[in-house]
Structure 1
Amino acid sequence: MARTRIPNTRLRALIEETDWTQGGLARAVNTVAAEAGLVLRYDRTTVAHWLTGSHPMPRVRPFVCEALGRRCGRVVTAEEAGFTGQGAVVAAQLAPANANGLVGLLHQLTGPVPYRPARTRPVSGAPGTGSVVGVVRTPYMRNPASLFFTRTLQAQGGGFARGTLRTYLTEAVAGQLRGVRGELRRERYAEASQLALVLGRMYADDLRNGEAQRCYLAARELAITAGSRELTVIALRTLSVQAHGLGHLRIADEVARAAVGIAHGTPRAVRAFAQAQLAVTAASCGERGDALRALSEAESGVDLDASGRHPFECYARADFEFQRGEALLALREPAEAMPAFEYALAARASDDRRGAALTRLRLADVLLRLGRVDETRSLERELREHGDGLRSAAVTRRKLELGRSLLRFGGGRRAV
């Protein structure tokens, strides 16, 4: 006997509250899922089925709740949306940043999870704004494991060795957090914070932004436990970069300003790192004066020669010039942005294949915007020669987008 479906009146009430059409909800769910690296092509008929009593797949339900929650401005649970009997899809909250919490977090990263902008937004008086009392001494920032995995990310992309890093964090680092006291505690938690940041960057490079966000939030909590302003600033800045890349511009700007606000007393490279991101977010929000001031302050802290330095204790010129280009693009000055990206590309370390690929792609965007199609095709050829083999979903997606953009232009010889 066929099961009789019960219309989902709770979901219908939420759709009415959001003032969305069924197609509007479908598009919002597709967007939230895309942030987590999941491709959905839902339309109004999909939502119509849900309203008649069908349920979305378990892995999709969190994305539906997140889309509704963003529109309503509050948390929407699966039960409130009328999706009953799926306890496993209730969003897990970030566990305390201790050994068990870190292991639990890592075990949760088994599939796509929604990116939640609301969790990135800084809360007044929350840990990380006023409770970080010290600066971790420089030797703690030179952890060899974080150096190894950062260079692996740069050379191979986020899809390479991510499982190895997760295992290392779960089986080695988390165990070292148990029962430690004093200076050793600060050292261990600082190491865990660095590695959680690198793991998050690997997930983000694979377009799995929900998992990346959880890693970044864990890294921030670990940094606070370590008493490290340096690492707290870096974690906040990374959260801002992610929010900006996903189009949550106001949140990105709030977090960038929070990072700058607590960076006082940290080394100049850390302050520059925070200011460079503020330049991008301020420019994106139309705050030209703030953006230019932040760029000027950031430039004064750039390391002219970062070769051989640990990435957590320096701010390389190539990375700053990339941010300068992004800020100038946001200020709608592509002609001024182009030399910044050219400088960034020339300054990239030879083993930073991922950074070079992303810089070439951004430079190609600018050249195409300026109508310099032949030069754009030349960059596309360079990408084929030097960027192949990277296990980076972010690079792959942008290369496809560049190829589609070039198809709109006639004339010139296609790259082979």
Structure 2
Amino acid sequence: MARPRARNEALVDALREAGLTYARLASEVRAVARTAGEELRTNKSAVAHWVGGAEPHPRTTLYVTEAVSRALGREVSPSELGFEEPGGEDRSRVSLGMCPGADPVEVLRLIGEADIHRRRLLTNAAYSVAAAGLPLGVEQAIPGQRRGDSGDFHAGRSEIEAVREMTRLFTRIDERHGGQHGRTAVVQYLTTDVARLCRASFAREADRAAMLGAAAEVAYLCGWKAYDAGEHGLAQRYQLQAYELTREAGDEAHQAFVLRILAHNGMDVRRPEHTLDLAEAALSRVRGRVGPATEALFVVTLARALANAGRSAEAARRLRVAQDLVLRGDEAELPHWAALWGSARACVSSHAAKTVRGMGDHVAAERHYAAAARSRPGPEYQRITALTLAAQGGEQAAMGHLEQACGTWGRALELLDGVRSARAVDAVDGMRRALAPLRGRGARVAEELDERARAWRAAHV
């Protein structure tokens, strides 16, 4: 006779503490799985089975753990919910890149290997709210050198500049053609050439620190490429290790820039739980220590986080400060890690649009998106300009200016030709959803644009 399963009291207690019903947990698990690229049919009956002692599929266990962590506002483990912990290699992969203090070069090598070979446990990992707050709890003292020199070769300024030049090249390709062009090449470069250079011997400690900083730039470029593919958990792991590299390099301004990236990532995936703290921490490390144009990038991030937190008056004040700073600043003085991403004015305008949009001001958002698009003329920033125009068209449509929106969206589609990006697919899908009420009503301009959008999607997915 089969032995009855024991009721999972740990899960019951966690659901009670989090205020989650069975149906609500099922909904949150489906949402977490969706961010990891997986569609589940989890329902309240499945949750009841888990409460009764059944074990979910190992990957579902990770989604449940993340859903409960989000609801509680702190990280919990599978064992705390009464589930089995992933074992062996799976267990090490689950935690890979999520534990501060490990050797970031070795961790990046393992993450990159999983990325290249498309190992689903990492490439389909969900974005973790608990992990987003990890840098906030890390001791800010510069860690000691964890590994000795490899002894087999020496590196110096020429190798550092070579890595930076390769990063600029890969970034230009990324900005023009989308994150999926050259993605494997960038990851391979990080895990081989760059990792080896980080282990070289250097005549000066400042050169070793500069190489670690250059490696961080490649790491968060890999993260943005994963993000552009919709792989948000993988992107987060790259970004966290970029932060570890900047910590080891002892470059506080560069650390702040990675915190800013983490904040934007959280806001973009609509998980803003730690983003205000990240934005405040980033700004506190650079205020008065960098040029006005650079500081503006941090201030506008804080403005956006404040708007997301419902603090509109403070957000508006910060936004005015960011706009004043960027107008006074000299973009030629941007540090290389900020200059990689182009015009500070364009960036401030783009995030100003997202800030005021979060405050419900479509008129101002449309104006800021238009300014951002104008600040990136020519084909160099083809993808981001196209996405900016797509967002501008969305604001025009929200105001009822559908003919104007169709014209703007048409320009966006022209720029998106040949761009390989999950974000571009999402933008085109958004256009088609906005156009849906007009299809079949004789609005010729809308029908023609919808057909162009449909053809683009068929060719790019």
TM category (shorter chain) comes to 0.7 to 0.9
Matches within 5 A, 1:20-99: 20-84=20-84, 86-87=86-87, 88-89=90-91, 90-92=94-96, 93-94=98-99, 96-99=102-105
Q: TM-score, normalised by structure 1?
A: 0.87
Preserved contact between residue 302 and residue 320 of structure 1 (Cα < 8 Å): no
Deviation at 1:261, TM superposition (A): 0.8
Q: Distance in 2 between matches of 1:196 and 1:309?
A: 12
Preserved contact between residue 383 and residue 415 of structure 2 (Cα < 8 Å): no
Q: Distance in 2 between matches of 1:101 and 1:34?
A: 26
Preserved contact between residue 294 and residue 338 of structure 2 (Cα < 8 Å): no
Q: Distance in 1 between matches of 2:296 and 2:388?
A: 20
Aligned to 1:398: 427
Aligned to 1:153: 174
Preserved contact between residue 158 and residue 202 of structure 1 (Cα < 8 Å): yes
Match of 2:224 among 201, 210, 213: 201
Sort the Cα spacing of 1:366 and 1:85 in 2 relative to 1 into closer, same or farther, 3 A.
Answer: closer
Aligned to 2:183: 162
Q: Distance in 2 between matches of 1:395 and 1:190?
A: 30
Q: Distance in 1 between matches of 2:47 and 2:107?
A: 36
Deviation at 1:151, TM superposition (A): 1.3
Preserved contact between residue 256 and residue 277 of structure 1 (Cα < 8 Å): yes
User: Does 343-352 or 147-156 show the bigger shift?
Assistant: 343-352
Unaligned runs of 5+ in 2: 144-156, 452-461
Sort the Cα spacing of 1:331 and 1:292 in 2 relative to 1 into closer, same or farther, 3 A.
Answer: farther
Query: SS at the partner of 2:379?
Result: coil
Preserved contact between residue 240 and residue 253 of structure 1 (Cα < 8 Å): yes
Deviation at 1:340, TM superposition (A): 1.7
Match of 2:318 among 268, 273, 290: 290
The percent of aligned pairs where both chains have the same amino acid is: 25
Sort the Cα spacing of 1:330 and 1:299 in 2 relative to 1 into closer, same or farther, 3 A.
Answer: farther
Matches within 5 A, 1:265-280: 265-280=289-304
Query: SS at the partner of 1:249?
Result: coil
Sort the Cα spacing of 1:160 and 1:50 in 2 relative to 1 into closer, same or farther, 3 A.
Answer: farther
Preserved contact between residue 163 and residue 194 of structure 2 (Cα < 8 Å): no
Q: Distance in 2 between matches of 1:333 and 1:142?
A: 42
Deviation at 1:124, TM superposition (A): 6.1
Aligned to 2:151: none
Q: Distance in 2 between matches of 1:322 and 1:405?
A: 21
Q: Which AA in structure 2 matches 1:103?
A: R
Preserved contact between residue 243 and residue 249 of structure 1 (Cα < 8 Å): yes
Higher helix share: 2
Sort the Cα spacing of 1:373 and 1:305 in 2 relative to 1 into closer, same or farther, 3 A.
Answer: farther
User: Does 63-72 or 384-393 show the bigger shift?
Assistant: 384-393
Q: Distance in 1 between matches of 2:414 and 2:80?
A: 52
Preserved contact between residue 396 and residue 404 of structure 2 (Cα < 8 Å): yes
Aligned to 2:206: 183
Sort the Cα spacing of 1:372 and 1:68 in 2 relative to 1 into closer, same or farther, 3 A.
Answer: same
Aligned to 1:229: 252
Aligned to 1:329: 357
User: Does 295-304 or 308-317 show the bigger shift?
Assistant: 308-317
Q: Distance in 2 between matches of 1:284 and 1:333?
A: 13
Q: Distance in 2 between matches of 1:155 and 1:2?
A: 61
* Residue 239, structure 1, aligned to residue 239, structure 2: no
Preserved contact between residue 36 and residue 209 of structure 1 (Cα < 8 Å): yes
Sort the Cα spacing of 1:369 and 1:141 in 2 relative to 1 into closer, same or farther, 3 A.
Answer: farther
Query: SS at the partner of 2:374?
Result: helix
* Residue 261, structure 1, aligned to residue 284, structure 2: yes
Q: Distance in 2 between matches of 1:186 and 1:254?
A: 27
* Residue 377, structure 1, aligned to residue 400, structure 2: no
Aligned to 2:109: 103
- 1:75-132 CA-to-partner distances (Å, cap 9, x unmatched) read 221122232263224534335344323323434553222322233237667445x759
Preserved contact between residue 14 and residue 68 of structure 1 (Cα < 8 Å): yes
Preserved contact between residue 226 and residue 235 of structure 2 (Cα < 8 Å): yes
Aligned to 2:443: 412
Count of matched residue positions in the alignment of Structure 1 and Structure 2: 409
Q: Which AA in structure 1 matches 2:302?
A: L
Deviation at 1:362, TM superposition (A): 0.9
Preserved contact between residue 141 and residue 190 of structure 1 (Cα < 8 Å): no
Match of 1:117 among 125, 129, 153: 129
Preserved contact between residue 99 and residue 177 of structure 1 (Cα < 8 Å): yes
Preserved contact between residue 122 and residue 255 of structure 1 (Cα < 8 Å): no
Higher relative contact order, chain-length normalized (CA < 8 Å, sep 6+): 1
User: Does 185-194 or 340-349 show the bigger shift?
Assistant: 340-349
Query: SS at the partner of 2:222?
Result: helix
Sort the Cα spacing of 1:99 and 1:131 in 2 relative to 1 into closer, same or farther, 3 A.
Answer: closer
Sort the Cα spacing of 1:158 and 1:3 in 2 relative to 1 into closer, same or farther, 3 A.
Answer: farther
